Each structure stands twice: as structure tokens, then as C-alpha cells.
Chain A
Amino acid sequence: MSTAEPSLAAASVDQPAKPRWMLAGLLTGPALYILIMAIVPAFLMVQLSLAHREVGGLWSPGFELTQYRQLATPLFARIMGFSLLLALTGAVICVSLAFPAAYFITRMRRRAQVAWLVFLLGSLSLSEVLIVFAFQVLLSTSGTLAGALAAVGLLAPGGALYPNFPAVLTCLVYLLLPYVILFFYPALSQLDPEVEQAATTMGASRLSTFTRVVLPMMRGQILTGVLLVVIFTFGAYLTPLVLGRPPQWTIAIHINNAAMGAGNLPLAAAYAVAVVVFMVALLVLTRLLSRRREAAA
């Protein structure tokens, strides 16, 4: 899906006058709402991460780095390391499935494309709860899959297909695949077919057209797609919780446990701030990477 980019509408020749009161009337409500519901909570979270923890799930305002010190522990490093490993593995699988899928879909007739879009949007919007539950049914010992695998001897009779790393990974790929396909959809559908045809008239086979023209042209998009998967995986909560074991728990579960279970909101906030900082760093890195590539090209 195309994320909201505040790109301006095509500039008209004649700019209409901007009556300030008109803009104020239009934007005051939305601005207040965004201020209260987005900016204030964000500041609050930062403040919370620096607050002093009191007993019984309470906290008092302060400025201490107690919680951030906990980020320097091997435990936190391990959690982040695992989250990143899961995210990157998921990203590689997702992007390498989603990119060709989106490419093929954009080259279909309208009716088939619309059907695919409905299918993708439908499965994308399904609750993580529901998907996890479905996977539980699918992977359960009494399910067909386990039975079939046991029958061919790949699984001990009565053995379970979860909780484990592959189950978490498969479910995450499932959750993300429609997102990533829809993310690639606009760019790939915008690709001028004449560009590919030009490659063909110069002797390129279909495969080399794809690898030498389509893929390099979409380098930036692919990188951003990977980033999207990483962000989503870091926020994934139910999948690792239900289909994984504690070693496969992502940062999201630990944040939730700190906040809801242990009642240590400042620690949860510190974790969250760390995650956001990490995300921003990744974003900047991706931008730099694609810019350098562009400059080199």
C-alpha cells in the first residue's frame, strides 16, 4: 500500500489566494487532534522512559537513566538481535516472493488485477489474532499437515509443528506478504512496458530483462520494502507469543510484558524509545544507501 506521503498536488498555474481564516478553519480541528493524540503521547513516552519507577505499577516524573541502563544488558542485546534476525529473514523471504508476485499481477488484465487486489486487501486486513489462530489450527497435532508429515515420516506421530522458529517465521511471512505485494504494486504498475520491450529488441531474454532492467530500476523500492517488513516485525506481538517459545519472543512482547505484566511502564517506554531510535537509524541508513547507489549509477 502506498503510505501517506504529503506530496503536493500538481501545482496549478494560478495559485488561488490563501485566505488564512479559511485554512485556520479547515486545519484547527485536525491539528488539535493530531497534537493531542500523537505529539503529546510521543513526548509522554519519552518523559515516561526517564521517569522514576514507584512500586505497584506507578511512576513519578523525574529525569533518570535507570531504565536506559537496562538497555545495555546482554538480555536486551539478545532480544534486539533476535528481533532483527527474524525481521531480516522475514524480509528476504517476503520481498523475494512479493516482488515477482506484484510484477506478475501488474501485468494482468483489469479483472484479474481487481480480483487479486480484493483478495490481498482482504487477507491483509484480517486480524493478527485470527491468523495466529488459523495457524494454530493448521499446525496443530490433530491437523492435516501434521498428520501428512507424520505419515511420510517427517514428524514423530503426535509431534507438534509449533511453537518454534519456523512457525513464527511462516506466520509472519503470511501476515506481511499482502502488505509487501501491495507496497510494490504502484511502482511496478507505473513501469513503462516500452522499457522492457526496448530491452527485448536489443536481444534480452525475459529473464535478463527482469534482472538487468526491472530489478535495478526498482532498487530503492526494494530497499524500502525490506524496511517496511523490519518495522512491522518489530511490532509483531501475537505471532511470536503464540507460535514461538520465549527465546523467540520479539521486543514487542517484552515491551508489553513490562507495561502490562510487570507494571514497569518506564522500562517499557525506554524499550519503545530504543526501538523507534533504531527504526529511524535504519531509515536513514536505507536512504543513504539508495542515494549512494543512485550517485554511483
Chain B
Amino acid sequence: MNLDPGMILRRGFLGLVALFLAAPLIVVLSVSFNATRRMSFPPTEFSLRWYGEFFGDYAWMASLERSLTIAGLAALVSVMVALPITYAIWRYQAKAAAVLAGIGGALFLIPGVVAALMLSAFWGVTGHVGRLENVVLSHAIVLLGIPLSLLMVGFRTIDQAQVEAAYTMGARDSDAFRMVVRPAMTPYILCAFIFVFVLSINEYLIAYMVAGFTVQTLPIKIFASMRQGYEPTMCVAAVIFMVMGFSAFTLMSKVADLPRLMGRTRPLED
């Protein structure tokens, strides 16, 4: 291994970036194992006490379950909306689908608070307020840009000639989809689902403005607790987020080519 100054500089810089990104997480993680009720860092005594309390608390568990339900449904809806759009773009070069994808992408780019206001006004007008499905449908639309871009990456990996070859062998559109497209797309669909799921479960502002008073998701509950002062179980909730997020993306890196998914098309050697 050559250790020239450039290499040391590079490693050092990246090390500092990693440290910066990891620091708050390490703090929360270690505080969650602290035995005392007072928030103190570094922790003084190791204990799983707050984990027991968290999982035994009805309100926390209800929030967790609610958040998981919302995230699962929102991910399902947004993937199911994005799939026909991206398929129509890829297979038929449909202009209408490109327009829909453009709107989806633009929504992802407007400031979160504006989206939240738009959607809360919308649900207010419909008179259908404070319901779980409001959060589901709102998350699905705001996060639509993610499945749109990931599924597009996936479709681009399928050579159109493969589909045409299937046609020449007597396949109809539905057969080609089932035998050529679906197997190639499965990892991308899974990744899109995971990504939306993780972002939905972490989202605060939209959930709060759309149905926050009645549908208390995990982030809303954490924030509410924060306002009332420090509570060690909050750290446990935070750790649950971290564990879910990092294991979801680790899973994603196992089922798909992560560098490619994030936009690298140039081949990358091992």
C-alpha cells in the first residue's frame, strides 16, 4: 500500500466527514444504553432498562405500529403509481408518461413545508381530516420521485432488443413483461419500496400537518416528547430508526447494484 501525502489527505478528509456524520448517532446510541434517567454523555452505567420500558409502553408501540403501517402502504402506493409510468416511458416512449414523471420529480423538489401546506389544505377542503390514509396518500405523492428515478434506472438496464427477441419467439406483451421485464426489475422495485418506506417512516412535517393531531406517528411522538423535556425512551425510539434505516439500505446493497442504482453506469471493478 502506498501512503503518499495525497492518500493521507484523502483518507483524513473522508474520515472527518464520516466522523461528523456519525457523531450524533453515536451519542444517541450510547445514551440509550445509559442507566440513569438524566441525559448524560458519556454514559455512566450500561443498562437495557429503557429498551424494556419502550417496548412495554403502549403509546410508543402504537406509534411504531402506525408508522410501519403508513410507511408500508405509502411505499406500495408510490411504487404502484411509478411502475406503469416508467414502463410506458421505457416501452412506448409515451409523452404523457414523461409529463407525469416530470410532475412527480418536480414535487420531490419543492420545499417540504410547501408540500405539507398544499396537502393539508387539500385534505381540509375534502373534509376528510385526521385520518391515517391521508398520511399514506400524501407521503406516496411527495416521495413519488424516488420510485420514478430508481425504476427508470432499472428499465434502462434492460436492452429493448431482449424484449424484441421475446416477440420474435412468439411472446405477447404480457409474456414479455412476465418473462423478461419482471425478473430484471424485481430488485429495482424492491429498492424503490425500501427507499420510500424508510423516508416515509422518518417523515415529520407532512404527517404532522396532514393528520398530526390524531395520527401520531413515531417522529411526531418523539417531537412531542422532546417538547416536554428529555425522556430516555426517546433515545430508544431514535435507535430503532437508525437500525431500521441502516439495515434497510444494507439489504438494498445485497439485492441490487447500489452504485448503479445511485447513478453510476461506468463499470466498477471489485
Contact = CB atoms under 8 A, between A and B. Distances in A.
Interface of A: 1-12, 14-16, 18, 22-23, 26-27, 29-31, 33-34, 37-42, 44-45, 48, 97, 100-101, 104-106, 109-111, 113-114, 117-123, 125-138, 140, 142-144, 174, 177-178, 182, 185-187, 189-190, 192, 206, 228, 231-232, 234-238, 242, 251-252, 255-256, 259-260, 265, 268-269, 272, 275-276, 279
B38 A118 contact: no
Contact of B118 (A45, A105, A119): A45
Return the 7 tightest CB-CB contacts between A and B, nearest first. Answer: A186-B263, A235-B111, A134-B24, A4-B105, A127-B202, A4-B148, A12-B160
A2 B117 contact: no
A138 B118 contact: no
A164 B31 CA distance: 24
5 contacts: A9-B152, A12-B161, A31-B96, A110-B259, A119-B18
Contact of B202 (A126, A232, A265): A126
Contacts of A45: 114, 117-118, 121
A119 B81 CA distance: 28
Given A121-B245, A130-B219, 10 more contacts: A1-B262, A3-B149, A4-B149, A37-B140, A118-B253, A129-B204, A133-B226, A133-B234, A138-B24, A237-B205
Contact of A122 (B120, B153, B246, B264): B246
A202 B165 CA distance: 47
A137 to B, nearest CB: 5
Given A1-B149, A268-B117, A272-B118, A26 B266 contact: no
Interface string B193-213: 001001101111100010000
Given A130-B238, A142-B38, A238 B89 contact: no
A36 B94 CA distance: 21
B109 A234 contact: no
Nearest to A137: B27
Contacts of B35: none
B14 A101 contact: yes
A205 to B, nearest CB: 10
A123 B102 CA distance: 27
A178 B10 contact: no
B155 interface: yes
A4 B153 CA distance: 10
Interface string B95-139: 011111111110111111110111111101100000000000110
Interface of B: 6, 10, 13-14, 17-18, 20-25, 27-28, 31, 38-42, 77, 81-82, 84-85, 87-94, 96-105, 107-114, 116-122, 124-125, 137-138, 140-141, 144-146, 148-149, 152-153, 155-156, 160-161, 164, 173, 195, 198-199, 201-205, 209, 219, 222-223, 226, 234-235, 238, 241-242, 245-246, 248-250, 252-253, 258-259, 262-266, 268-270
B84 A29 contact: yes
A235 B114 contact: yes
A6 B89 contact: yes
A102 B125 CA distance: 44
Contact of A174 (B13, B24, B84, B125): B24
A105 B264 CA distance: 12
